Amino acid sequence: MGADEGARVTVPSSSLLCQLIGTSIDGVNAVALMRQGKLVAAYTRPGLATPPEEKIMRMLFQVEVVAAIADSQSDVFGELEYLVLNYRERRVWVFKTVHGTLAFSLVGQRPLQERVIEQVREILGRFG
């Protein structure tokens, strides 16, 4: 473990945040950070075939809307921590952050949920 590993990033970088999520968690193939319907930053594993940009933007907008709907119930259920959209081939994880809505896709074996949550929270903690 390096001296800087786990250190807090003093100037948040949305691109760095996406890259850290994409390279630190096994099975993540794409990461996006959205804010108010706009793509703020993204990371895609090299060599990954992606849908057309219009389709990607529509998917990201829909994920952000779903997260906003779920978040609107916080007065009843408490603060929204995360969502998992569980498809046959992959899972889409969604976290509401101070920087926007963070979504990422996992492929392969279903990971242990608590391990993924712990890793994401540790990385988000570096960004304040």
User: What CATH number does the domain containing 53 carry?
Assistant: 3.30.450.30
pLDDT of residue 11: 44
By the 8 A CB rule, do 64 and 34 touch?
yes
Please list the rounded mean pLDDT of every run of 10 residues in the chain (128 residues). Answer: 45 83 89 90 90 91 92 94 85 88 78 79 86
By the 8 A CB rule, do 1 and 22 touch?
no
> How many independent structural domains does the chain possess?
1
> Is residue 60 one of the residues assigned to a domain?
yes
The Cα 119–Cα 78 span in angstroms is: 22
The residue range of the domain holding 86 is 14-125
Helices 14-24, 113-125: inter-axial angle, 10-degree rounding: 150
> Is residue 56 one of the residues assigned to a domain?
yes
b/e per residue 94-106 (b: at least 16 CB within 10 A): bbbeebbbbbbbb
- pTM, to two decimals: 0.75
